[in-house]
Structure 1
Amino acid sequence: MGNTQKSLSELALYLDAELIGNADHMISGIADLQCASSSELSFINQESYAQHLATSATGAVILNAEFADKYDGNKLIVSNTYLAYAKISALFESLSLLAVGIHPTAVVAASANVDPSASIGANCVIGENASIAPNVRLYSGVSIGDRASIGENTLIHPNVVVYHAVNIGKNCVVHSGTVIGSDGFGFAPSREGWHKIHQLGAVIIGDNVEIGSNCSIDRGALGNTVINDGVIIDNLVHIAHNVKIGKRSAIAGCVGIAGSANIGENCTVAGAVAINGHIDIADNSHFHGGTIVTKGNTEAGVFASATPMQEVKKWRRNSVRYTQLDDMANRIKQLEKQLKALLPSESDA
């Protein structure tokens, strides 16, 4: 796919864009404005990048009507340039093709059901009664546990581990190093130490879900951990047992979600957010990076916590003041009481 070439007329038809320029000009890739060559396509969706239009050697630019007059070369005019860029990127995907069939070094249980159109890479392992649907691609070293199910057109990158009884839907992408279905963190304390609570649920992942690299998604303790359709998850995210994430929500890198949290639909969770367990997050909730979510919310909104970066001496002074807030609040209450005692009451007026 790395050798793909498309004419601007083909790209215009694909994007339903207005083409101004040479319809026969051939494009072989995408690059940013500053370093693009004449055979590459660029895009612009912010005013700050307009300064590069005059000096760019790009073969064509995707832009909207607002910027169309600022560039005299080949251009594809669309209403949403970032979405157009996303669609075009699929045409120039450089991932190596995986041969259809089962690689001779793969180990596939006799009871597994592997569709003939699936591609099973080197050193993959597929367990007993596992199900691999049509056009699934498993790159090298992927391990699929017993009774697991992988839906049609799903792509799993090298060295992903899918535990037993996990269900992954259609058109999903799972990146390298991710583990789906490991045990949730469940232990019962006793005088003798910790007694493991065996995790008897599974993980259910819907359709059109993308999961980044080195994520850990725990199986449920009794019920299932559920990732619904259209969810996107960045790298290094931990999703604990029995968490539920609603449709089309987006989870950025280094987020930790504790057990049995219920996140609604169309939510966005920025990087390094920590979400407490056993709470409900309303649909269309949005959390800024680093937010500590200790309680749920019933209405949509935008939420943030943690102090912004500041000079370290000022931060130390403010940290001390923070520890004094409770004492200061009590003193203010006492002063209010004293002031109220000194002021004449309404009956004295």
Structure 2
Amino acid sequence: MSVTLAELAKRFQGKVRGNPDTRIESVAMLETAGPHDIAYVSDRKYLELLPKTAAGAVILTETDADHFSGNVLLVENPHLCFARVASLLHPLPAFKPGIHATAVVSPKARVAGTSWIGPYSVIESEAVIKDGVWVGPGCYVGAHVLIASRTRLFAHVAVYDRCTIGEDCLIHSGVVIGSDGFGYSKDNERWQKVPQLGRAIIGNLVEIGANTTVDRGTLKDTVIGDGVKLDNQIQIAHNVQIGENTAIAACVGIAGSTVIGRRCTVGGQAGIVGHIEIADDVHVTAGSLVTNSIAQAGVYSASLKAEPVEKWRRNAARLHHLDEIARRLGKLEDKLQQLSKEQKN
């Protein structure tokens, strides 16, 4: 695909400084861009690369534009504009509808004529595949599953029975939607499984990264709201609810029955315990452990930085005596208060 700089400015509410007829075919980094590429700068530490770039155009703010003598697409948010330009110039590949000869599709499933079912995929009874859906190789779509229009399942995605996936979703390889939640009741020395009878409900415009798992609910549903973005290797337990437009980075674990609000972000390797609620617009930093509900918007962190092992061992040894030290300190405070009263008297 090829567009002019003027067309990009019109489409993405920008202004052109330079030649509006410059043709742009691709996006690239400043260091590797050529005359038909467009790059961007959103962090000022990269401004020093501008004099050396061969990019056909660069997306910049008005403030930073003076650092570059070439063609510029002026916008308020270069990173957002770059994302939109990249999506325009590099769309998902088109596909020819149909059902591959090796796919196994139940005669009771309903597959739209505009969709594609890839090699060795299985579509079970009463499953509904809407218009423009792309099901990659080796996927499993269980009975009574609904996959809404224009959603794509990459290779080896498993969607268990009765779950639903909304419109315009991207589900990457290895994702499992609707597996049983971790539900057991103690029976003396043994564990009795609690049947997981709910569903996993995925909203519209959701992206789920590779090898992420979304468990089904125990009785009520696990719900992922519209616009949620999930990175790779995330564990979402049964009955969890995640609000619209929340983004969660890789290797996060969310325990059962937790409710996360809208527009939240959770950094990589964070852990969130079960049965708590997190308000809208909460941002949890990477590696944090959230053990209590968060009622107000803001940035929250609960992690210890890495230190030389000798220092860490000394601090860890002292932590074992923290309760004793607290008791002793309490006694000293009581004595000080008593001395203060005696002096006043």
TM above 0.5, yes or no, is yes
Q: Distance in 1 between matches of 2:241 and 2:79?
A: 29
Match of 1:261 among 258, 263, 274: 258
Query: Is the contact made by 2:26 and 2:90 (CA closer than 8 Å) also made in structure 1?
Result: no
Aligned to 2:154: 157
Matched ranges for 1:305-344 at <5 A: 305-344=302-341
Aligned to 1:74: 71
Structure 2 SS opposite 1:91: helix
Please tell me the residue identity of whatever aligns with 1:241: H
Indicate whether 1:130 and 2:123 are aligned: no
Q: Distance in 1 between matches of 2:13 and 2:292?
A: 45
Q: Distance in 1 between matches of 2:176 and 2:39?
A: 36
Indicate whether 1:284 and 2:274 are aligned: no
Aligned to 2:207: 210
Q: Distance in 2 between matches of 1:208 and 1:191?
A: 45
Structure 2 SS opposite 1:65: coil
Q: CA deviation at 1:192?
A: 6.0
Q: Distance in 2 between matches of 1:24 and 1:73?
A: 13
Match of 2:232 among 228, 232, 235: 235
Aligned to 2:88: 91
Q: CA deviation at 1:24?
A: 2.5
Q: CA deviation at 1:252?
A: 0.8
Q: CA deviation at 1:345?
A: 4.5
Aligned to 1:272: 269
Q: In the TM superposition, what whole-angstrom CA distance separates every residue of 1:150-178 from its partner, at most 9, and x where no partner exists? A: 01111111111111000111111111110
Q: Distance in 1 between matches of 2:279 and 2:297?
A: 6
Aligned to 2:191: 194
Match of 2:40 among 40, 43, 62: 43
Q: In the TM superposition, what whole-angstrom CA distance separates every residue of 1:229-250 from its partner, at most 9, and x where no partner exists? A: 1111111000000111111111
Please tell me the residue identity of whatever aligns with 1:207: N
Match of 1:168 among 165, 169, 179: 165
Aligned to 1:15: 12
Match of 1:112 among 77, 84, 109: 109
Structure 1 SS opposite 2:185: strand
Higher mean C-alpha deviation, range 318-327 or range 151-160: 318-327
Aligned to 1:56: 53
5+ residue gaps in structure 2?
A: none
Q: Distance in 2 between matches of 1:170 and 1:316?
A: 52
Structure 2 SS opposite 1:328: helix
Higher mean C-alpha deviation, range 4-13 or range 307-316: 4-13
Q: In the TM superposition, what whole-angstrom CA distance separates every residue of 1:250-275 from its partner, at most 9, and x where no partner exists? A: 11110000011111111111111111
Match of 1:32 among 13, 22, 29: 29
Q: Distance in 1 between matches of 2:276 and 2:189?
A: 31
Q: CA deviation at 1:346?
A: 8.0
The alignment of Structure 1 onto Structure 2 pairs a total of residues equal to: 345
Q: CA deviation at 1:73?
A: 0.6
Please tell me the residue identity of whatever aligns with 1:22: N
Higher mean C-alpha deviation, range 8-17 or range 257-266: 8-17
Q: CA deviation at 1:5?
A: 2.1
5+ residue gaps in structure 1?
A: none
Please tell me the residue identity of whatever aligns with 1:92: L
Please tell me the residue identity of whatever aligns with 1:256: G
Structure 2 SS opposite 1:180: strand
Two-structure CA RMSD over aligned residues (Å): 1.5
Structure 2 SS opposite 1:54: helix
Higher mean C-alpha deviation, range 29-38 or range 160-169: 29-38
Q: CA deviation at 1:344?
A: 3.6
Q: CA deviation at 1:22?
A: 2.2
Q: CA deviation at 1:338?
A: 1.7
TM value normalised by structure 2: 0.96
Q: Distance in 2 between matches of 1:290 and 1:125?
A: 38
Please tell me the residue identity of whatever aligns with 1:111: K
Q: In the TM superposition, what whole-angstrom CA distance separates every residue of 1:280-303 from its partner, at most 9, and x where no partner exists? A: 111111111111111112222221
Q: CA deviation at 1:347?
A: 5.9
Q: Distance in 2 between matches of 1:216 and 1:6?
A: 39
Structure 1 SS opposite 2:186: strand
Q: In the TM superposition, what whole-angstrom CA distance separates every residue of 1:170-209 from its partner, at most 9, and x where no partner exists? A: 1111111100000111112213622211111110111111
Structure 1 residue runs of 4+, over 4 Å off? none
TM value normalised by structure 1: 0.95
Percent identical across equivalent pairs? 42
Query: Is the contact made by 1:98 and 1:139 (CA closer than 8 Å) also made in structure 2?
Result: no
